[in-house]
Amino acid sequence: MKNTLSPRLAMLLLSVVLFLSACVPDSRHPLPPPADGKGDDRLIGCWIFVGESDKGYLDISSVGGGRYHVVIQNGPDASSHTTETDILPTRIDGQLFMTVVGFGPPEEGGPEGAPHLIARYDMTVQGDWLVYPMRLEALAEDVRVGLVAGKVSPSELWGEAVRLTADSEALAAYIAAADPTRIFADKPFHMRRP
């Protein structure tokens, strides 16, 4: 029998978009695929995330078409709690981004299904994977002034929540025009090979 993690714990372990101390904006739509149709095969394989108080293990495989399947465990062996999701890497103006597809139970997303999470990422010369989630405050401000379509609503946990509703092309245009250091976190989640 397969154990699944709560979406919140899975988000911690994925570290791609993990934030326990702050809310991560979600999106109704993924980012568009890369123009050349190629994914990022450097993501394939095993990764370890070591946070301040947690450790997570990720196993990533390609399922074709630039889509990658991620199995996330909170321990190194088969008895560990696991969850699964997919990621879609893409490039916008030469920078690397990814969509964590349908992250969370569908009921959290309403009739459109589970929300997606968007992050910027880099691969270091040493081969480490650095993931920068979107900043809640910057996105909330940009939604309020109409730079990107979305909804800002009260959140008991974080003060407010942001759900981007722009379609894939509009999201890519918004990211291309924005300052990435403003709309994505400065401190990345750091993953390395075992």
1 belongs to a structural domain: no
**Grouped pLDDT means (10 residues each) for the chain, 194 residues:** 45 41 73 88 92 81 93 74 88 94 58 78 95 93 96 79 93 96 91 92
Distance CA 87, CA 98 (A): 6
pLDDT score, position 49: 86
pLDDT score, position 118: 94
H or E stretch covering 152: strand 150-155
Domain count, the chain: 1
Largest CA distance in the chain: 48
Domain that holds residue 118: 7-188
Q: Are strands 159-164 and 26-27 parallel, antiparallel or unpaired?
A: parallel
pLDDT score, position 112: 56
Distance CA 16, CA 89 (A): 12
24 belongs to a structural domain: yes
193 belongs to a structural domain: no
Total H helices, total E strands in the chain:
5, 11
94 belongs to a structural domain: yes
pLDDT score, position 26: 87
146 belongs to a structural domain: yes
Instruction: Say how many CA atoms lie within 13 Å of 31 toward its Cβ.
Output: 28
pLDDT score, position 14: 47
pLDDT score, position 191: 93
